[in-house]
Amino acid sequence: MSLANPTDPSPQEQAQATESTFGDILLQFEHEHSNEGQGETLQGTVIKVSQEQILVDIGRKMEGVIDRSRLPELTAASEIKPGDLLPVVITGRNEEGYYELSMLRAKRVFDWSQLEKAFEEKTPVAGRVVEVVKGGLRVDVGVRAFLPASRSGARDPMEMESLVGQEIRCLITKLDTATEDVVVDRRSLLEEEAALAKERAFASIREGAVLHGTVRTVTEYGAFVDLGGIDGLLHVADMSWNRAAKPGDLVSVGDSVEVKVLKVDPESKRISLGMKQLTPDPWTVTTQNLKVGDRVRGKVVRLADFGAFVEISPGVDGLVHLSSLAWGRRIKKPSEVVQVGDAVEVVVLDIKPAEKRISLGLKEALGDPWEEADKRFPVGSLVEDVPITNIAKFGAFVDLGGGLEGLIHIADITRERRLEHPKEVLSPGQKVRALVLEVDKQKRRIRLGMKQLEPTVLDEFLASHQVGETISGRVVSVDAVMAKVELAEGVTGVYRFPKNEPAAAPPPSQTGKADVASLTAMLAARWKQGAPEPKQEGPPKLRPGEVRTFRITKLDPARKTIDLALEA
């Protein structure tokens, strides 16, 4: 039995030593081969495409990978699929051992003759951005070349910094072999590739297609949406069924949106897009359940000279015409009745689905005030503090409230003088008091009077005299039952005859012949008895034109009448 030498390493230590030795060898191998094939141009076959990278078989033990972040300037990622053959350049190895590749469609040159040929034929060359220098970038195209910042395609200094270490394609714009001065241009190739990508994208778009895009810019009239190399215009009118919507309220820069292609114009290369077309037309939905006479609530969204637009459901507006805003009043502009944002109740007056028009009535929802006009304003009633709304040559209109309007004719304004125009004594906005003279519901007319409230000569007489007072008057006319007596200018009283009183003295005989026998008998009788005093029987007789004394028996201010009695 042999004993182990205490100085010999244990099996565990031997395994650790072996593992350490293998690791060192692997690190050394990776270090020695990390730059293997760098700069070599190969033909690779796409194996797999993921969101981060593209796996490519380049015919070696390890596959290569292309970082998709480098693809935008070279080709559209959507064009690459498994099985495609790609020209690639080895740029290094990553931590997992895969070859790092760059997909270029240009050859790397290694001598001046190839540079001269590329310069003359204006063919792209491959290069690696080495560093940022004053005014631009230093690029290795086989020799050191200068790429001006303005021709780099970078939009800002930060983007220029990000190009360092990247493989790019460029054109040689200046080549001086004597001074080894080489200037390259990347921007023209980027613009050319963008134009080609735009052509391909435009050719693939069809009217009616539903696409996903990204909002690139937002303007007052709409938004431009990037559809993958080409922009389409999403007009504000096609964003939402709601007419009042603004582009900035619906989308923002960077938003991912779903749109429908409405029109493709091959000549102008314009694409019209729509968002609202992906949702049901609210006009169709709303008008299916709406009928004339329905009461609906809505919000005033817009005012025009001819009326107000009311939104009765999202995207569906109806028009309340000026004539349907208020009863009786003459509306010159809708702002006299409603304002934008007001919540109102309206009645559907007419529906035209094909024309997308709905007529609404605001006054109809309030009820017809003329149905109760005669009860609210009976003839003879007084209206106080009513404002004048409009003045015409023939009279003034006043607002009686509740949708009713009254007219004060020019002849009923004042007794003081004859007016040529109502504006001589009245003005819009002035508040007046008037008497209701007439209510015609069929003609929708209420006639008012102001002069009827002014005191007359008769009113003053009634106020300044009392019953029992004696007054002189001139008989104006006499008929079978009464006599009219003028007591003052414009003031007339009435004296009614007693039933047994003759209306007037009998007229003299018209025949001219006397009864001689009767006259002889009367004279004989008087001769015997003596001549008696003449005596008048009954009340005195009245004749038109004579002035007599009367006593006031009754004054009626309400009926404006004066009753008289004849003084003996």
339 CB-near residues (< 8 Å, 6+ apart): 300, 303
Residue 27 domain-assigned?
A: no
Residue 227: give the domain boundaries: 205-278
Question: Given a cut of 60, is residue 27 above it in pLDDT?
Answer: no
Nearest to 210 by CA among 282, 265, 278, 280: 278
Model pLDDT for residues 67-126, shown as the tens digit of each residue: 876 664 444 455 678 888 777 777 778 878 888 887 665 455 556 788 888 889 888 888
Structural domains of the chain, count: 6
| Whether residue 293 is found in the same domain as residue 356 | yes
| Whether residue 406 is found in the same domain as residue 325 | no
| Whether residue 557 is found in the same domain as residue 495 | yes
Residue 563 corresponds to which amino acid?
A: D
CATH code of the domain in which 183 resides: 2.40.50.140
| SS3 assignment for 133-172 | ECCEEEEECCCEEEEEHHHCCCCCHHHHHHCCCCEEEEEE
Question: Given a cut of 70, is residue 521 above it in pLDDT?
Answer: no
- 525 φ, ψ to 5°? -65, -45
Q: Which helix (H) or strand (E) holds 262?
A: strand 256-265
Residue 15 domain-assigned?
A: no
Calculate mean pLDDT across residues 404-432.
90
Q: State the residue for tokens 């007599």.
A: 548
Q: Which helix (H) or strand (E) holds 115?
A: helix 112-121
Range name among 143-157, 195-209, 510-524 with the lowest pLDDT average:
510-524
Q: What is the reported pLDDT for 434?
A: 92
Q: What is the reported pLDDT for 494?
A: 93
Calculate mean pLDDT across residues 13-34.
48
- Is 430 within 8 Å of 422 (Cβ atoms)? no
Calculate mean pLDDT across residues 458-475.
88
| Whether residue 359 is found in the same domain as residue 387 | no
Question: Given a cut of 90, is residue 9 above it in pLDDT?
Answer: no
Question: Which own/partner pairs from 521-527 qualify as long-range (CB within 8 Å, at least 24 positions apart)?
Answer: none
3-state secondary structure of 241: coil
- Is 379 within 8 Å of 439 (Cβ atoms)? yes
Percent of the chain with pLDDT over 90: 25
Distance of CA 398 to the CA centre of its chain: 32
300 CB-near residues (< 8 Å, 6+ apart): 308, 309, 310, 338, 339, 340, 341, 342, 344
Residue at which a domain ends, from 409, 426, 453: 453
| Whether residue 123 is found in the same domain as residue 174 | yes
Nearest to 180 by CA among 228, 125, 143: 143
| Whether residue 359 is found in the same domain as residue 395 | no
Q: What is the reported pLDDT for 215?
A: 92
Q: What is the reported pLDDT for 511?
A: 40
Model pLDDT for residues 531-557, shown as the tens digit of each residue: 444 444 444 578 898 999 999 999 888
Range name among 439-453, 457-471, 510-524 with the lowest pLDDT average:
510-524
Model pLDDT for residues 169-201, shown as the tens digit of each residue: 899 999 987 788 899 999 998 888 888 877 877
| Whether residue 74 is found in the same domain as residue 97 | yes
Q: What is the reported pLDDT for 448?
A: 93
Model pLDDT for residues 230-254, shown as the tens digit of each residue: 889 999 888 887 766 688 888 999 8
Q: What is the reported pLDDT for 534?
A: 46
Residue 535 domain-assigned?
A: no
| Whether residue 568 is found in the same domain as residue 464 | yes
Cα distances from 88 to residues 93, 115, 363, 560, in angstroms, run 14, 20, 78, 119
Residue 23 domain-assigned?
A: no
Question: Which own/partner pairs from 382-387 qualify as long-range (CB within 8 Å, at least 24 positions apart)?
Answer: 382/433, 382/434, 382/435, 382/436, 382/453, 383/433, 383/434, 383/435, 383/436, 383/448, 384/433, 385/431, 385/432, 385/433, 386/431, 386/432, 386/433, 386/434, 387/429, 387/430, 387/431
Residue 4 domain-assigned?
A: no
Residue at which a domain ends, from 331, 366, 401: 366
Q: What is the reported pLDDT for 149?
A: 92
Q: State the residue for tokens 């003609």.
A: 443
How many Å is the Cα radius of gyration of the chain?
A: 56
Residue 512 domain-assigned?
A: no
- Is 421 within 8 Å of 392 (Cβ atoms)? no
Residue 530 domain-assigned?
A: no
Residue at which a domain ends, from 453, 479, 496: 453
| Whether residue 214 is found in the same domain as residue 265 | yes
| Whether residue 489 is found in the same domain as residue 544 | yes
| Whether residue 491 is found in the same domain as residue 567 | yes
Using left for φ > 0, alpha for ψ between -120 and 50, and beta otherwise, residue 394 falls in: alpha
| Whether residue 477 is found in the same domain as residue 547 | yes
Burial environment of residue 499 by CB neighbours within 10 A (0 to 12, 13 to 18, 19 or more): exposed
19 CB-near residues (< 8 Å, 6+ apart): none
Residue 188 domain-assigned?
A: yes
